[in-house]
Amino acid sequence: MKTIFYFPEDKALAEYLAKKMGIDLGVAEIRNFPDGETYIRIISQVKNKSVILICRLDHPNNKILPLFFMAKKLKELGALNICLIAPYLPYMRQDKSFKASEVVSASVFAQFLSSFIDQLITIDPHLHRIKDLSEIFSVPAITIHLTRDVAEWIRANIDSPCIIGPDEESKQWVIEVAKSLDAPFIILEKIRYSDSNVKISIPVSMDITKTPVLLDDIISTGGSMVATIRELINKGFKPPVCIGMHALFNKNNYNKIMKSGAKKVITSNSILNFSNEIDIGDVIFEKLKFLK
């Protein structure tokens, strides 16, 4: 028997999945003490049940401890196993030591999660120098791709698109999306000078009559999008549509992207944000359907 537990911000996704799968929603009391520390009580019976636990892990520092508490208690109460659904997997961008003695947070975070869950399901994690999640997780870690949904959004909303990836890492999504739309694509070159300062160059000539669609996995400071938009507009392109699978940005960074000349910025609800237009419910359901 399966049951779905969730944190408050994940309620809508949990309800959607529970209904589609025809399984129970677990009941838990989760609240903060006046000092900000977290109180958790599991109310539903979980003995001998497989638990699907949903936790959006963007801005993870305040979420990881409540997740750990919840998972520990579920196991203590007899849950058979815990499959964590973390639509956005944080800390993946620090995937090597660039300077001596830096923490490689991607591996440490993965080891920590592996110590208290039995399985992970996540959406398009930032895989760059780490090529597969199995390199850092010691429990099964399943990647779901959002490329089909991104392609569907583009097909429904954009005439004659050209898919543009701002850097080498974006190639993996850009090629998939372009292929399913039968659209041209191009991968640009990015040099990162600091957290928010990057330089983008366009290595080959491109057809400027198409609608440029910038596609990246994460939009954070917006620096990559802004630099790419400026470069494209300088070269005579139409205002680009920007798609980020995971929206870490705030309103200020969003405004910065719009002011630099974007036509629109859209993201998936792997992270809840005002820019969400691509829903992750069905891709997660498709994966869960086949989970034992």
| Among 271, 188, 196, CA closest to 234 | 188
Region from 73-81, 109-117, 150-158, 221-229 binding ligand R5P, contact rule CB under 6 A: 221-229
Question: Of the candidates 216, 237, 269, 278, which one interacts with ligand R5P according to CB under 6 A?
Answer: 216
224 binds ligand R5P per the rule CB under 6 A: yes
- DSSP H or E segment with residue 154: helix 147-157
By the 8 A CB rule, do 233 and 261 touch?
yes
Cα separation, 51 vs 85, whole angstroms: 10
222 binds ligand R5P per the rule CB under 6 A: yes
By the 8 A CB rule, do 172 and 267 touch?
no
267 binds ligand R5P per the rule CB under 6 A: no
Dihedral sign, Cα of residue 102, residue 105, residue 110, residue 116: positive
Q: Which residue, 46 or 216, is less far from ligand R5P as judged by CB?
A: 216
Cα separation, 15 vs 170, whole angstroms: 32
Region from 30-38, 95-103, 181-189, 217-225 binding ligand R5P, contact rule CB under 6 A: 217-225
Rg of the chain over Cα atoms, rounded to whole angstroms, equals 20
Cα separation, 212 vs 185, whole angstroms: 9
- Phi then psi for residue 190, to 5 deg, are -120, 135
260 binds ligand R5P per the rule CB under 6 A: no
Q: Which residue, 3 or 170, is less far from ligand R5P as judged by CB?
A: 170
Q: Which residue, 19 or 171, is less far from ligand R5P as judged by CB?
A: 171
Closest separation between CB of residue 93 and ligand R5P, Å? Answer: 6
Q: Which residue, 117 or 178, is less far from ligand R5P as judged by CB?
A: 178
- Say which residue the tokens 């993946």 belong to: 92
Closest separation between CB of residue 66 and ligand R5P, Å? Answer: 25
Size of the site for ligand R5P (CB under 6 A): 16
176 binds ligand R5P per the rule CB under 6 A: no
262 binds ligand R5P per the rule CB under 6 A: no
**Cα three-residue angle 132-246-148, rounded to 5 degrees:** 70
| Beta-bridge partner residues of 213 | 163, 241
Q: Which residue, 71 or 247, is less far from ligand R5P as judged by CB?
A: 247
Closest separation between CB of residue 86 and ligand R5P, Å? Answer: 17
Which residues in this chain contact ligand R5P in the complex, by CB under 6 A? 93, 126, 166-167, 169, 196, 198, 216-224
